[in-house]
Amino acid sequence: MNTTIVSEFILLGITNIPQLQSMFFTVFLVIYLFGFVGNLTILIVVITDYQLHKPMYFFIGNLSFLDFFFSSTTVPKMLAGLVMQNKRISLQGCLTQLHIFHLLGSTEALLLSCMSYDRYVAICNPLRYHVLMAKTTCIKMASVCWLTGFLYSLSHTILTSRLPFCKMGVISHFYCDIKPLLKLACTDTHLNQSLFSIMTGFVAIFSFLLIIVSYIFIVTHILKINTSQGRHKAVSTCTSHLTVVLLYYGTAFSTYLRPATNDSLEQDRMTAILFTVITPALNPFIYALRNKDVKKALNKMFFRDKTVLAPGSSVFSIAGSRGCDWLPLSQSQPRLPVRPPACSSRRQRTRTRAMLEPGAVSRDWN
């Protein structure tokens, strides 16, 4: 058997039918651009809008960052393979893609479990929410997710890079993944397959169990709420997260927690489209369309400069909902910048001043 060290692989891609290639290229390019713009927009809004500087949106910002690069790791190469005959990828490029893909994928799985804990604290222990989910705590939780994902991905990358591959290896996928590469190895890969199944199973099942436990406590607490309005409000805060969890874990379990066969690799290519192309594009719309704070921040970001003040109209600041309304403008008064009157407390004055300063950072999340 020829075990010559190869310097490149050939990605088989999604299909070799020219008519389908053109159609898939158009469809996936549109989906990718929607996800690219959507995740980037959510990330910018979470960073720039001080009202979103809260634990839940901190994790949503991390999720958008992950999805932004997660799809960009595989989709551009897939799109290039649909319109170009050259589907080659270097060995170094293949290992780099494999490392980044599993780094972001495993980190997202752990991050979703952190988000479930955040929802548990918000619903079951709201009075201690800002204590249990302090800024430093959230940063530590996110850091653990990223570090664990990095070590998980690094171990697989090192083990895979040490394998000898047969000459002119054709990868039965549209990106470099561990199971297709193990099929091309010219040596026994039983150890690699066992370690991959054990480590992937531990990360996936452990994070999924944390989500299940969190939602068991959440459901138990919701059933104790007497009013239907209170139950509806509690459930509505979890629907976006649950939708993302079902999309992500449903496809991930069906892809990575089963043995690699020729039939399963073919199914993996179809399933991988869901969590590499479609799911990252849906996540920002799931959170934007179902979250009032995000929709309000998006509206303020895109339309804040389009407000026209008519003579005699009353203008209210955001602080107006907290008891510090702006004064109405009369036709006889000159068009000068309107300043808010003195608020009833020093704390209200501080909040009003912070709201009027562009780019101000919320001090509610300590």
Give the pLDDT band (50/70/90) at residue 357: very low
Question: Looking at the predicted structure, is the pLDDT value of residue 100 above 90?
Answer: yes
Which CATH number do you get for residue 27?
1.20.1070.10
Average pLDDT over residues 185-207: 88
Domain final residue, candidates 270, 300, 330: 300
Per the model's pLDDT, the better-predicted residue between 23 and 359 turns out to be 23
Is 363 part of a structural domain of the chain? Answer: no
Instruction: Give DSSP secondary structure letters for 83-142.
Output: H-S--EEEHHHHHHHHHHHHHHHHHHHHHHHHHHHHHHHHHH-GGGHHHHT-HHHHHHHH
pLDDT (tens digit per residue) in 225-239? 888 888 888 888 888
What average pLDDT does the chain have? 80
Torsion of CA 306, 51, 124, 121, to 10 degrees: 130
pLDDT (tens digit per residue) in 132-143? 999 999 999 999
Give the pLDDT band (50/70/90) at residue 211: very high
Is 157 part of a structural domain of the chain? Answer: yes
The answer to whether residues 153 and 272 belong to one domain is yes
* Cα–Cα separations (whole angstroms), residue 33 to 25, 26, 38, 273, 274: 12, 11, 8, 15, 15
Average pLDDT over residues 13-21: 82
The answer to whether residues 248 and 350 belong to one domain is no
Is 1 part of a structural domain of the chain? Answer: no
Give the pLDDT band (50/70/90) at residue 155: very high
Q: What is the pLDDT of residue 219?
A: 93
pLDDT (tens digit per residue) in 39-80? 999 999 999 988 889 999 999 999 999 999 999 999 999 998
Whose CA is closest to 329, among 349, 308, 304, 357?
A: 308
Taking residue 232's Cβ as centre, other Cβ atoms within 10 Å add up to 11
Q: What is the pLDDT of residue 21?
A: 87
| CA dist., res. 81 & res. 87, Å (int) | 5
Q: What is the pLDDT of residue 114?
A: 95
The answer to whether residues 113 and 245 belong to one domain is yes
Among residues of the chain, what percentage have pLDDT more than 70? 77
The answer to whether residues 51 and 81 belong to one domain is yes
Residues in the chain: 366
Burial class (CB in 10 A: 0-12, 13-18, 19+), 60: buried
The answer to whether residues 272 and 316 belong to one domain is no
End-to-end, the C-alpha distance of the chain in Å comes to 62
Q: What is the pLDDT of residue 352?
A: 47
Q: What is the pLDDT of residue 209?
A: 94
User: Which residues make Cβ contacts (< 8 Å) with residue 301, sequence separation at least 6?
Assistant: 44, 45, 48, 49
The answer to whether residues 50 and 127 belong to one domain is yes
Is 151 part of a structural domain of the chain? Answer: yes
Structural domain containing residue 328: 307-356
The answer to whether residues 277 and 344 belong to one domain is no
| CA dist., res. 182 & res. 265, Å (int) | 11
The answer to whether residues 29 and 158 belong to one domain is yes
The pTM for the full model equals 0.77
Question: Looking at the predicted structure, is the pLDDT value of residue 353 above 50?
Answer: no
Taking residue 101's Cβ as centre, other Cβ atoms within 10 Å add up to 21
Q: What is the pLDDT of residue 287?
A: 79
User: Tokens 């009353």 map to which residue?
Assistant: 314
Is 133 part of a structural domain of the chain? Answer: yes
Q: What is the pLDDT of residue 163?
A: 87
Is 217 part of a structural domain of the chain? Answer: yes
Q: For 103-112, 287-296, 337-346, 357-366, which range has the lowest pLDDT when averaged over its residues? A: 357-366
